């Protein structure tokens, strides 16, 4: 059984995940003609949060996923990314990975 890659953060932290679209040999792929969708969801079947995609460099396949929710509760979340080529109508999904949100001692609301 494989384990999921896990990114750790604290509650109240800003979620901005820098990503890159790569071939199997880690060569960058262009995002020309590619749409990207991503969601984050906890393991308790609550509705997912849709992540906003910011393209950083289309040629190198670099982008950032932003979660507009400013307070993710401490728990494990699962995330994946869907790439769709608008010219060929092919779809490729990333591996699912985890975002582990740890409890914070200090809150910005205090």
Weakest mean pLDDT among 53-62, 91-100, 101-110 = 101-110
Full-model pTM: 0.89
Residue 100: pLDDT above 60?
yes
Domain assignment present for residue 95? The answer is yes
Domain assignment present for residue 30? The answer is yes
Q: What is the pLDDT of residue 2?
A: 57
> For 15-71, what is each residue's pLDDT tens digit?
999 999 998 899 999 999 999 999 999 988 789 999 999 999 999 999 999 999 989
**Structural domain range at position 28:** 6-102
Tell me the residue ranges of DSSP E strands in the chain. 6-10, 16-20, 34-42, 49-50, 52-57, 62-66, 75-85, 91-93, 97-102
Q: What is the pLDDT of residue 45?
A: 78
Domain assignment present for residue 1? The answer is no
Domain assignment present for residue 58? The answer is yes
**CATH assignment at residue 54:** 2.60.40.3350
Mean pLDDT of 4-15: 94
Residue 3: pLDDT above 80?
no
| DSSP, res 98 | E
Domain assignment present for residue 36? The answer is yes
Q: What's the total number of domains in the chain? A: 1
């Amino acid at each position: 059984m494989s384990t999921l890659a896990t990114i750790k953060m604290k509650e109240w932290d800003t979620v901005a995940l820098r990503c890159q679209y790569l071939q199997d040999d880690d060569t960058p792929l262009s995002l020309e003609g590619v749409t990207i969708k991503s969601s984050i969801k906890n393991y308790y079947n609550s509705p997912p949060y849709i992540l906003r995609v910011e393209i950083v460099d289309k040629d190198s396949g670099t982008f950032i996923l932003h979660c507009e929710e400013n307070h993710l509760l401490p728990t494990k979340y699962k995330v994946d990314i869907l790439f769709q080529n608008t010219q060929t109508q092919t779809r490729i999904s990333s591996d699912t990975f985890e975002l582990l949100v740890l409890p914070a001692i200090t809150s910005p609301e205090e």
